[in-house]
Chains A and B, each alone.
Chain A
């Protein structure tokens, strides 16, 4: 009764879409206004932490090789770490500014894991293409939370992170198990279905 892998990508895309919208709204209004209601302040770090928790069953039920399993485990751990660090900073349990580096760290690890665990070239299939694109997007997108760690009130950094997550959501929605990319589909990838 487990869903096909592409459905799992779409469900995670939905989570990232909501996360991206929350962060974009936070970037627009500023942190002071966003945090005026406690539930709203905790919303996006909780969502990020929750996505990390949900990545564990994905790692258990959907990975078919060691490198695949390690990559999904790394995403689960770093998303939980980033969410928990932001929650700790908000609650006042964590004080050191270095905890703000958890978010860029999560994106760098996630991007690297995406690039390392994709064994095929860019045009092998749509999934392979998206793995490469997601990996590079995460690596470049890590610059925004890195800037936010140095300048926490920067709206440019907050909006940049939000847009990175929205782009990741779009890419995850585009994922299919076996589908061509720009007309290319390796014969080794299998037969495309609708």
Chain B
């Protein structure tokens, strides 16, 4: 009895420039938010609260920017890249 060994070769296609640009939008936005937090740490009231109310502790602009980047990278970019690379 003979057996056959089947080797699967997974073809890895390089991403197109447009796909790379779309993939970079989310991380770049996140990076912008993080850089902003380092440049203006006082915009993150949570880090050093001084008796601020609810809204001052909830709305932290650099965190919002990072959140948008995360949402775009996780929810929008993957499907878009998939559709872009589809022949």
Report whether chain A binds chain B: yes
Residues of chain A at the chain B interface (Cβ within 8 Å): 1, 3-4, 7, 10-11, 13-14, 17-18, 21-22, 24-25, 28-29, 33-34, 36-37, 40, 43, 173, 194
The answer for the CA separation of A4 and B55 in the assembled complex, in Å, is 8
Is chain B's interface secondary structure helix, strand, loop, or mixed overall? helix
The reply to whether B65 and A173 form a contact with Cβ atoms under 8 Å apart is yes
The interface residues of chain A lying within 8 Å CB-to-CB of B29 are 17, 21
The reply to whether A14 and B72 form a contact with Cβ atoms under 8 Å apart is no
> Given that A21-B72, A33-B80, A37-B79 are contacting pairs, would A28 and B59 also be in contact in the complex, using a CB cutoff of 8 Å?
no
The interface residues of chain B lying within 8 Å CB-to-CB of A43 are 76
The reply to whether A25 and B42 form a contact with Cβ atoms under 8 Å apart is no
The reply to whether A11 and B80 form a contact with Cβ atoms under 8 Å apart is no
The answer for the CA separation of A21 and B70 in the assembled complex, in Å, is 12
Can you identify 25 A-B contacts, CB atoms within 8 angstroms? A1-B54, A3-B55, A3-B59, A4-B55, A11-B64, A13-B64, A14-B64, A14-B65, A18-B71, A21-B25, A21-B29, A22-B76, A24-B25, A25-B22, A25-B80, A28-B18, A29-B18, A29-B83, A33-B80, A34-B80, A36-B83, A43-B76, A173-B61, A173-B65, A194-B42
The reply to whether A14 and B68 form a contact with Cβ atoms under 8 Å apart is yes
Task: Look across to chain B and name the residue whose beta carbon is closest to the beta carbon of A34.
Answer: B80
